[in-house]
Amino acid sequence: MEILDQSVAAEVADQLLEIQAIRLQPQKPFTWASGWKSPIYCDNRLSLSFPKVRNLIKDNLVKSIQHFFPEVEAIAGVATAGIPQGALLANELDLPFVYVRSKPKGHGMENMIEGKVSPGQKVVVVEDLISTGGSSLKAVEDLRNAGVDVLGMVAIFSYGFSIADQNFESAKVKLIVLSHYEALLPQALERNYIDENVLESLTQWRRDPANWGK
């Protein structure tokens, strides 16, 4: 995992906190579908309702693609949250756009990939949030099965789990994120969303999310 810029990481984290796209509740943790207890909930789709934040994210994802993947020929969004972000980027970059379903369409052509891609086409995948990377990398696999050359992936935010780094490395996918958990905590402290006394607990969660809070 790489980031575009430390100052961008801090600004994006700050703005996501301000619009409550990211919520921190270490004393009253959320429960994920996996059963993990989590002190953080992230819904970057909220950013679409705030033009200032939406444009901040769009502009810096565009810069990330131009910097790390200048040879890109098309953009692919991961359903569902990566679809609007990907469409915004494709429009800004004047590139074709497709999206990848989580499962085949139940009728008609039963497509996994919606839109037109060609074998050998150089594609960057767009995701909103990276946790373990499982669903995101499934989209990469589907694109590769269609003969597409996946250059890498860009995302708004990552929890920074080591398992995600391992999964992306194993899949040979370069991941670029605008912001991540480590950039978030200082901003949360500065805004008084959290106190110093919960910082160690929040840090432990990222190291061992499966056993945190037990």
* 207 labeled part of a ligand binding site: no
* 196 labeled part of a ligand binding site: no
Report d(CA 143, CA 100) in Å as an integer: 8
* 128 labeled part of a ligand binding site: yes
* 152 labeled part of a ligand binding site: no
Sequence-ordered strand ranges (E) for 34-106:
37-38, 40-42, 74-78, 97-100
* 106 labeled part of a ligand binding site: no
* 174 labeled part of a ligand binding site: no
Task: Convert 157-191 into a string of H (helix), E (strand) and C (coil).
Answer: EECCCHHHHHHHHHHCCCEEEEEEHHHHHHHHHHC
* 135 labeled part of a ligand binding site: yes
* 16 labeled part of a ligand binding site: no
Residue 8, both tokens? 């961008």
* 203 labeled part of a ligand binding site: no
* 132 labeled part of a ligand binding site: yes
Binding-site annotation: residue ranges: 101, 105, 107, 127-135
Binding-site annotation: residue ranges for orotate: 131
Binding-site annotation: residue ranges for 5-phospho-alpha-D-ribose 1-diphosphate: 101, 105, 107, 127-135
